[in-house]
Amino acid sequence: MNENISIERQKQVEFAVGMAAIDGGKPSAFTRNLLNQYEQGQVSSSQLKQAIVEKYIRASLG
């Protein structure tokens, strides 16, 4: 992956985590793992979003 893309992804993750922290939120281990995969270019932003949505849909269905 291009170094500039990697740096941009790191900035995006830091921003998202920072915005969540403003509201007292903290990423779960599951989400942190996905964010690390995103930073490393292993998953796209749409794959990241889909994985999070699917996890919390399953959790809400019990």
Predicted model pTM: 0.84
Q: Token pair of 51, please?
A: 């994985």
A 10 A CB-CB count for 43 gives 17
Whole domain around residue 35: which residue ranges?
Answer: 3-61
Count of domains for the chain: 1
Per-residue tens of pLDDT for the chain, all 62 residues: 788 999 999 999 999 999 999 989 999 999 999 999 999 999 999 999 999 999 999 999 97
CA distance 28 to 53: 13
* Model pLDDT, residue 12: 95
Q: What is the pLDDT of residue 1?
A: 79
Residue given tokens 């985590």 in the structure block: 17
